[in-house]
Amino acid sequence: MRPQPSIRPYRPADRAAVADICVRTALDGGDSRARYPDEELLPSIFAAPYCHLEPELAFVLDDGSGSPVGYVLGTADTEQFVKNFRTAWLPRVAGRYPEPSAEPRTPSEEMIVLLHTPERMILPDLAAHPAHLHIDLLPDWQRRGFGRGLMRTFLAALHDRGVPAVHLGMVTANVAARAFYDRLGFHEIPVPDPGPLTYLGRPTAVGTL
């Protein structure tokens, strides 16, 4: 009988696979390795800290053989996460990615600036949506209903914790991702000077999702 894919909690053994998924989906939904050749950099900002700081809110899509092919992860409380990122996560990675002393000159240096400024995640306009998330699936596993399943699992976990609403920041140019979030009931949250991002939010109550 062919193994069936399933959604399950993140395990420490999934770390490398989660990092690989992050890298292969980080550039407007596509492979980021040509732009960011250090394959640990983007996961150190957008994936690994969530698995380390709030593993109970990290879930993977298992292909049926034990290998993750997608994930959803995030935090129930963005303000607290930012504090923990600075005090408990940055010291773990700052040796490999020291804080820049000059203006960034490359895409990788721009990302290292983001790594060292977690406070950028706290925006007053997002206060009513205290949780935030990241969700990514490898291309072969997209448009098959698995993203919806991952989102349902994550929202239910937040709702069980009494968290009323969640937000995310997506690259505005990623129109495929926007269509996905629209189908899942996310709405745009106006934010002054959002740069290349669009912020979306929705209640955590799963309803008919």
Write out the DSSP string of the chain: -PPPPEEEE--GGGHHHHHHHHHHHTBTTB--TTT---TTHHHHHHTHHHHHH-GGG-EEEE-SSS-EEEEEEEES-HHHHHHHIIIIIHHHHTTTSPPPSS---SHHHHHHHHHT-GGGG--GGGTTS-EEEEEEE-GGGSSSSHHHHHHHHHHHHHHHTT--EEEEEEETT-HHHHHHHHHTT-EE---SS-TTEEEEEEES--TT-
Per-residue pLDDT at 28: 83
In the block, residue with structure tokens 């193994």: 3
Per-residue pLDDT at 190: 96
pLDDT mean for each 10 residues of the chain (209 residues): 89 97 92 96 98 98 96 98 98 96 94 97 97 96 93 97 97 91 96 93 89
Query: Distance of alpha carbon 105 from its chain centroid, rounded?
Result: 25
Per-residue pLDDT at 206: 87
Per-residue pLDDT at 209: 79
Per-residue pLDDT at 108: 96
CA distance 205 to 147: 17
Per-residue pLDDT at 207: 82
Kindly report the pTM of this predicted structure: 0.94
Per-residue pLDDT at 57: 98
